[in-house]
Amino acid sequence: MTLAALPDTDAVPGPFWLLSALHLLTFVLHLLAMSALVGTTSVLLAVRAPDRWARPAVRRLLALLPTLMAATVTLGVAPLLFLQLSYGRVAYAAAITSAVPWILVPFLAMAAYGALYAASRRPAGDARAGAWLRVALGGLVLVSLVYASTFALAERPDAYARLYRATASGLVLNPDVATWGPRWLQAFASAVALGAFVAARVARADDAVAAAARRTLLGAVAVAAVAALLRVGVLDPSLRAALGGAGLGVFVAGALAPLAAAALLRRGAAVAAGALLVVGLVLSVVARHLARLGALSGAFDPAAPAVRPQHDVFAIFVVCLLVAAGVIAWMLRLWSRAERPDRVGP
């Protein structure tokens, strides 16, 4: 009787199409927050004005960074759980193979948050804010590299099995850097471009910050396009097969959308450019999902487990997601309505 009461660990609480839809939705929300974070940080480091750390627009963006970090972490929990729920067997195996870097991720995230908070609390004109921002950006880059390496390894069961047989130390990263490196570069550069757009809109009244945002956006878009071209054309020959015809179309559209957005931005169509950047992000997420399914075809079927619906748990998730979104919106509203440091008089 006791054994019969134990949960069925081979079952999932919902059909694969629903879990995939929720995973993609929450992952896009997480990437929007993360993009605003890394893009704004990159823009602040790219401002060339000698008084940049005393400029009101810079101070305003600095104050936003801890909130963006909190939103990034909060919105990152759900997609990670959905990924583990649908692809648990391969995701856990890859994470165990790279256990030490994986365990370091929370500590790197905490260090990055502390550095962002320290930068936001520096007095106006204190150049040490830049040093703290570099520490934070370095931590975020390391986190993204560990994730990119591990999740790419999860799509290669033969590779992580071979690596784990060679050593169970947990110190191994995915050695196929030529494959996952450009994938990481494309994703990170695309995130910086979208975040630079956000920074440009927030600080559009400051010419120095706006100019740094435009430079950052254009440079990031170019890097992302080159990385995408190298991935699909040279460095990852298996990508085209994994995507299939429809998936390849989605991948190309997602890679071209930021280039079109940059062209629209140069012509002054800011709203259309921002919309295209978001569309490019969504298309890239869908293409990544299709590529994962194609890469695992024949080795692992995420739709195979039996479905044991858990409606109460699903209801709790929906409520928590709505509450989290509401809290983040409330935090951003408080920030946007706060008295600006450059406002003088009533």
Structure-token match 């009461």, residue found: 5
- Residues 287-324: tens digit of each pLDDT: 999 999 999 998 999 999 888 888 888 889 889 888 98
Residue 318 falls inside a structural domain: no
d(CA 327, CA 329): 5
Residue 274 falls inside a structural domain: yes
Judge contact between 305 and 12, C-beta under 8 A: yes
d(CA 88, CA 12): 11
The CATH number assigned to the domain holding 259 equals: 1.20.1630
Residue 92 falls inside a structural domain: yes
Among 12, 83, 9, residue whose Cα is nearest residue 309: 12
- pLDDT at position 29, please? 93
- Residues 196-241: tens digit of each pLDDT: 999 999 888 999 999 999 999 999 999 999 999 999 887 788 898 9
Residue 76 falls inside a structural domain: yes
Give the ranges where 52-176 is alpha helix by DSSP (H).
56-97, 99-120, 128-154, 157-166
Residues forming beta bridges with residue 12, ordered by sequence position: 307
User: How is residue 136 written in tokens?
Assistant: 């934070």
**Domain coverage including residue 175:** 13-306
Residue 58 falls inside a structural domain: yes
User: Which DSSP string do the residues of 109-145 spell out, in sequence order?
Assistant: HHHHHHHHHHHHTSPTT-THHHHHHHHHHHHHHHHHH
Residue 338 falls inside a structural domain: no
Q: Could you read off the pLDDT tens digit of each residue along the chain, which spans 346 residues?
A: 455 555 566 788 889 999 999 999 999 999 999 999 999 999 999 999 999 999 999 999 999 999 999 999 989 999 999 998 999 889 999 999 999 999 999 999 999 999 999 999 999 999 999 999 999 999 999 999 999 999 999 999 999 999 999 999 999 999 999 889 999 999 999 999 999 999 999 888 999 999 999 999 999 999 999 999 999 887 788 898 999 889 999 999 999 999 999 999 888 899 999 999 999 999 999 999 999 999 999 899 999 988 888 888 888 988 988 898 888 888 878 877 775 544 433 3
Residue 7 falls inside a structural domain: no
Residue 328 falls inside a structural domain: no
- How many independent structural domains does the chain possess? 1
Q: How far is CA 316 from the centre of its chain?
A: 25
